Amino acid sequence: MRERRILVVEDERTIAESVAARLRAEGFAVEIAGTGPAGVDAARRTPPDLVILDVMLPGFDGLEVCRRIQAERPVPVLILTARDDETDLLVGLAVGADDYLTKPFSPRELAARVHALLRRVDRAREAVTPGAAPPLVLGDLEINEAERRVRRAGLEAHLTPTEFDLLVHLARRPRAVHPRERLLADLWGWADASGTRTVDSHVKALRRKLGADLIRTVHGVGYALEVPK
Ligand code: CA
């Protein structure tokens, strides 16, 4: 198997270096970019398998980097946020980041998150052999897992890898209530009450892209996919 590439966009040198050292020790090829524009250029030049993105960056910020690289090609993104900066976190998840880690974090914790995210992407890819499974059709919603494409009322929606996986997970058991903690554990591979905001933010993105009526909030519990008419 070819070496997996990780792009680290972080202007704090000590953090970038310790993250890179840990990931290289785990067998990844790592590239570091120190500004927003340099991060976008690096992602364009050599498409990475995963991007680790600091929010506060010179040039333009990590959220803008995320927007730009996701617009070109879906790639798993893990954002690094300052403690308690909830706005950054929510905006980051809204612009297509898949997971987040709050500073300060240990390199070990970061590596665990990276592995969980890559495993999830791999699982999603292996779950379907192209052309094998017929599209999942629920009312006017059509999900083609083999091609990782989604249409609603004939219109294609562009989802990030995490948004797609969440939608498929909900759609496999339509109308069933999925607790937020369970979704976090099943899809993100970690469980922590604070992480349920990650789930909320991805649901919000799915509603924005596919229609607000598609996913029902079960107050205080979680979410259920409604079958659209
Ligand atoms: Ca920074």
pLDDT in tens, 202-217: 999 999 999 999 999 9
Cα–ligand 1 centroid distance for 182 (angstroms): 32
Give the alpha-carbon dihedral of 159, 165, 168, 170, to 10 degrees.
Answer: -110
Pairing state of beta strands 77-81 and 50-54? parallel
For residues 105-112, average pLDDT: 91
Delimit the domains of the chain by residue range.
5-127, 136-225
Cα–ligand 1 centroid distance for 35 (angstroms): 9
Cβ count near 71 (within 10 Å): 11
- Topology at the third CATH level for domain 5-127: Rossmann fold (3.40.50)
Could you tell me where the DSSP H helices lie in 73-160? 86-94, 107-126
74: phi then psi, degrees, rounded to nearest 5: -65, 130
From 3.40.50.300, 3.20.20.70, 3.30.420.40, 1.10.10.10, which CATH number describes the 136-225 domain? Answer: 1.10.10.10
Cα–ligand 1 centroid distance for 106 (angstroms): 16
Cα–ligand 1 centroid distance for 206 (angstroms): 29
* Whether residue 96 has pLDDT greater than 80: no
pLDDT at 154: 92
Q: How confident is the model at residue 195 (pLDDT cuts 50, 70, 90)?
A: confident
Instruction: Sort 153 into a burial class: Cβ within 10 Å, 0-12 / 13-18 / 19+.
Output: exposed
Q: How confident is the model at residue 229 (pLDDT cuts 50, 70, 90)?
A: confident
Tell me the whole-structure pTM to 2 decimals. Answer: 0.73
* Whether residue 111 has pLDDT greater than 80: yes
Task: Pick the closest to residue 95 from 115, 75, 117, 125 (CA basis).
Answer: 75
Cα–ligand 1 centroid distance for 107 (angstroms): 16
* 33 torsion bin: left (phi>0), alpha (psi -120 to 50), beta (else): beta
Cα–ligand 1 centroid distance for 5 (angstroms): 21
Give the three-state DSSP class for 111: helix
Instruction: Sort 46 into a burial class: Cβ within 10 Å, 0-12 / 13-18 / 19+.
Output: exposed
pLDDT at 46: 92
Pairing state of beta strands 77-81 and 99-102? parallel
The mean of the pLDDT values for the chain is 88
**What are the tens digits of pLDDT across the range 2-39?**
789 999 999 999 999 999 999 999 999 999 999 999 99
For residues 142-156, average pLDDT: 91
**What are the tens digits of pLDDT across the range 33-84?**
999 999 999 999 999 999 999 999 999 999 899 989 988 777 899 999 876 6
What residue ranges in the chain does DSSP mark as E strands?
5-9, 29-33, 50-54, 77-81, 99-102, 136-138, 141-144, 149-152, 155-157, 178-179, 215-218, 222-225
Cα–ligand 1 centroid distance for 12 (angstroms): 6
**85 vs 196, higher pLDDT:** 196
Count of all residues that appear for the chain in the document: 229
